[in-house]
Amino acid sequence: MRNDRHRIASAQLGFTVLEAAIALVILMIIGLGMASLFTYALGANTRADDRELAMTIAQKRMESLRTIPFNTQTRMLDISMGGLKATLPEGVTETVESAGRSFIVNTQIQDMSVVPLNEPDEGSPTSKSIRIAVTPATATTGFETVILNTQRSTQVVGIN
């Protein structure tokens, strides 16, 4: 009987120091993997927040340009004066602050078609393409830029 008790007691001994050390190393490797995943997720959330704010800025800018009437008075006025005059090919760039973050806003307006020759106002624009690009100032890739495009047109008497 005493032999049976001795066998049971020796079978229930704890882990050795080596087994415990190996288990701790394995847990440390798993923990480091999870920590790097957490860091990556945190960065992805920040980029998503920046992209959401960039979209809001782009939508506000586009809506403000869409509220400008496209007529003979506004089609040749600069953006700064409340008009829709064509910009240089590189557009107009400015920095905007939103929620404590900086964004670079680029606005491009291009004339798409003009009044035909021998018509009143010949050569004046009848349709325009508007492009708004908003990029977070901290952006590291082009994927973080939000771009909105639209076209505007005005009524012009056609050719018979």
DSSP per position, the chain:
-HHHHHHHHHHT----HHHHHHHHHHHHHHHHHHHHHHHHHHHHHHHHHHHHHHHHHHHHHHHHHHTS--STTTTTS-GGGT--PPPPTT-EEEEEEETTEEEEEEEEEEEEEEPPTTSTTTT-EEEEEEEEEEEETT--SGGG-EEEEEEEE-------
Please give the share of the chain, as a percent, with pLDDT higher than 70.
89
The average pLDDT across 48-59 equals: 93
- Determine whether domain 2-153 maps to CATH 3.30.1300.30: yes
pTM of the model: 0.72
